[in-house]
Amino acid sequence: MLSLFPPCYLHTMDSTITPILDGKNLAQRIQTELQQQVEQLQGKFGRPPGLAVLMVGDNPASAAYVGNKEKACTKVGIASFGKHFPTDTTQSELEQVIEQLNQDEQVDGILVQLPLPEHLDAVTLLHKIAPDKDADGLHPVNLGHLVRGEEGLRSCTPAGVMRLLEEYKIDLKGKHAVVVGRSILVGKPLALMLLAADATVTIAHSRSQDLSAITRSADILIAAVGRPEMITADMVKPGAVVVDVGINRVTDKTGKSRLVGDVHFDSVKDVAEFITPVPGGVGPMTVAILLQNTVQSYIRTMNS
């Protein structure tokens, strides 16, 4: 499929040009397409898709993420059933809410916003979500479908990365992809998706020996470790495609804060063939796939 918008280029001080993998632009287009789809389907089915995002506590980053998701729902035409709970909410209270949402015919997707307060068991809560309403694609049933190469809801961030690579026609067949990070949220499912696209995949992590040698061997380098700017130019093969999944807030000496990724953008942009910015790269794609998963669940439910 041809891209409907040209690559965005970053002009550097030495007049070289680094193409940017523009997740913000692509996510906006996906949302527009979903909006048109939802308008048509709502007339057919008699109700809009519904998404419930559960947030516990007052984490500022989580509040910003939830706010962005709710705004995106409004834009697309998805009914938002967001629920905000105080920090001292108990495990059993949340499990009861999830069970109620599982039975609610107006709700097609359920997402538990992470991280949760320490006294809560996130894994158990995720397992309580009905697999068909698992908008974040993290239920063991959906992860099992991914392992087996079967249809199912996919983890939002990894699926967003794959969609972004597809849009810019990044050839993965036979290429060496290195994923730095082994979380169940990103690293492991993304490695499986890359394997399904015929890439040769290495998963690196904090215990990997000579990490720089591993990353320098990558044609496709994906950083998903949550450590600000740890991937530097000397760790990147010239001409590699670099995808930065990290979103970290750092504060400078003046007290001013800003968002940075796991990649040292200013140095790596001069080495890479393509690179994602932070913000504006993978983050918007995660939200777009969340909405896409919700609409997919909605269609399957209404047609069953």
Pair of tokens at residue 72: 């995106």
The pLDDT score that the predictor gives to residue 17 is 67
Exposed/middle/buried for residue 114 (C-beta within 10 Å: 0-12, 13-18, 19+):
middle
Q: What is the mean pLDDT of residues 282-297?
A: 97
Rounded CA separation 38/61 (Å): 29
Are both 128 and 171 inside the same structural domain? Answer: no
Q: Are residues 162 and 277 in the same domain?
A: yes
- Cα angle 99, 37, 276; round to 5: 85
Give the pLDDT score at 303.
Answer: 94
Whether 175 is catalytic: no
- Of the candidates 136, 219, 244, 262, the residue annotated as catalytic is 136
pLDDT-based confidence at residue 129 (cuts at 50, 70, 90): very high
Give Cβ neighbours of residue 132 (< 8 Å, ≥ 6 apart). Answer: 153, 297, 300, 301
Structure tokens at 248: 């970290």
- Angle of CA points 179, 194, 238, to nearest 5°: 55
Domain assignment of residue 267, yes or no? yes
Q: Give mean pLDDT, residues 5-15.
A: 49
Q: What is the pLDDT of residue 60?
A: 81
If asked whether residues 99 and 166 sit together in one domain, one would say no
Predicted local confidence at residue 62, as pLDDT: 84
The predicted pLDDT at position 12 comes to: 43
pLDDT of amino acid 252: 84
pLDDT band at residue 5 under the 50/70/90 scheme: very low
147 domain-assigned: no
Q: Is position 249 annotated in a ligand binding site?
A: no
* CA pair distance 107, 129, nearest whole angstrom: 12
Residues 71 and 162 in one domain: no
Confidence of residue 61 (pLDDT cuts 50, 70, 90): confident
> Whose CA is closest to 235, among 208, 254, 216?
216
Separation between Cα atoms, residue 147 and residue 174, nearest integer Å? 19
In the set 69, 128, 133, 175, the catalytic residue is 69
Task: Select from 234, 194, 229, 228 the least CA-distant residue to 213.
Answer: 234
Confidence tier at 87 by pLDDT (50, 70, 90): very high
What CATH number should be reported for the domain holding residue 71? 3.40.50.10860
Task: Classify residue 102: in a domain, yes or no.
Answer: yes
Judgement on whether residues 249 and 160 belong to the same structural domain of the protein: yes
- Residue bearing the bigger pLDDT, 116 or 12: 116
Would residue 66 count as lying in a domain?
yes
| Token reading at 246 | 């990290």
Residue 295 belongs to some domain of the structure: no
**182 labelled as ligand-binding?**
yes
User: Model's pTM, two decimal places?
Assistant: 0.92
Q: Is 40 a catalytic residue?
A: no
Whether 40 maps to a domain, the answer reads no
- In whole angstroms, what is the distance from residue 16 CA to residue 275 CA? 14
**Token pair 């910003």 is at which residue?**
64
Could you tell me the residue range of the domain that residue 273 belongs to? 156-282
Residue 121 among the catalytic residues: no
Per-residue model confidence as pLDDT tens digits over 141-156: 999 999 999 999 999 9
Q: Which two tokens stand for residue 279?
A: 């913000």
pLDDT in tens, 200-247: 999 999 899 999 999 999 999 999 999 999 999 999 999 999 999 998
Residues 171, 107, single domain; the answer is no
The active-site residue, picked from 22, 31, 108, 113, is 113
Residue 11 has pLDDT above 70, yes or no: no
Number of domains composing the chain: 2
How many other C-beta atoms can be found within 10 angstroms of the C-beta atom of residue 96? 12
In a shared domain, residues 175 and 83: no
- Residue 43 phi/psi, 5-degree rounding, is -65, -35
Can you tell me whether residue 200 is helix, strand or coil?
strand
pLDDT of residue 249: 87
Note the pLDDT tens digit of each residue in 63-79: 888 888 999 999 999 99
Note whether 190 and 246 are same-domain residues: yes
Q: Residue 171 falls within a domain, yes or no? A: yes
Q: Give the domain CATH number at 168.
A: 3.40.50.720
